[in-house]
Amino acid sequence: LPHLNDDSASRHIWLAPSVGWVNETCDAFQANSSSTSPAALLLAKTIKLALEDRESAPPSLAADRELAVDENAPMSMPWADNLHSIPYPSVLSGFDAARVAAWQASTAVPTQRPYLVSGAWGAHGLGSAMDVRTSMERQCLASPACSFIDLDDMRGRTNTEDVMEAGLVSTFCLEPPGGTPARE
User: From start to end of the chain, where are the E strands?
Assistant: 13-15, 47-50, 83-85, 115-121, 146-150, 170-173
CA–CA distance, 66 with 63 (Å, rounded to integer): 6
pLDDT of residue 151: 82
> Mean of the per-residue pLDDT values for the chain?
78
**pLDDT at residue 28 greater than cutoff 70:** yes
**pLDDT at residue 74 greater than cutoff 80:** no
pLDDT of residue 90: 73
Q: Which amino acid appears at position 181 of this protein?
A: P
Q: What share of the chain has pLDDT > 70, as a percent?
A: 76
CA–CA distance, 124 with 176 (Å, rounded to integer): 11
Q: Which amino acid appears at position 177 of this protein?
A: P
CB 22 within 8 A of CB 78: yes
- Would you mind telling me the total number of residues written for the chain in this entry? 184
Residue 62, classed as helix, strand or coil, is helix
Contacts of 72 (CB under 8 A, 6+ apart): 22
Q: How far apart, in Å, are the Cα atoms of 110 and each of 5, 57, 91, 105, 113?
A: 58, 36, 20, 10, 9
CB 20 within 8 A of CB 53: yes
CA–CA distance, 52 with 58 (Å, rounded to integer): 11
pLDDT tens-digit series, residues 32-41: 898 889 999 9
CA–CA distance, 54 with 57 (Å, rounded to integer): 6
Whether the pTM exceeds 0.85: the reply is no
Q: What share of the chain has pLDDT > 90, as a percent?
A: 22
pLDDT tens-digit series, residues 85-130: 887 777 777 788 998 888 888 777 777 889 999 988 887 766 677 7
**pLDDT at residue 72 greater than cutoff 50:** no
pLDDT of residue 100: 86
Q: Which residue has the higher pLDDT, 25 or 43?
A: 43
Element at 83 (helix H, strand E): strand 83-85
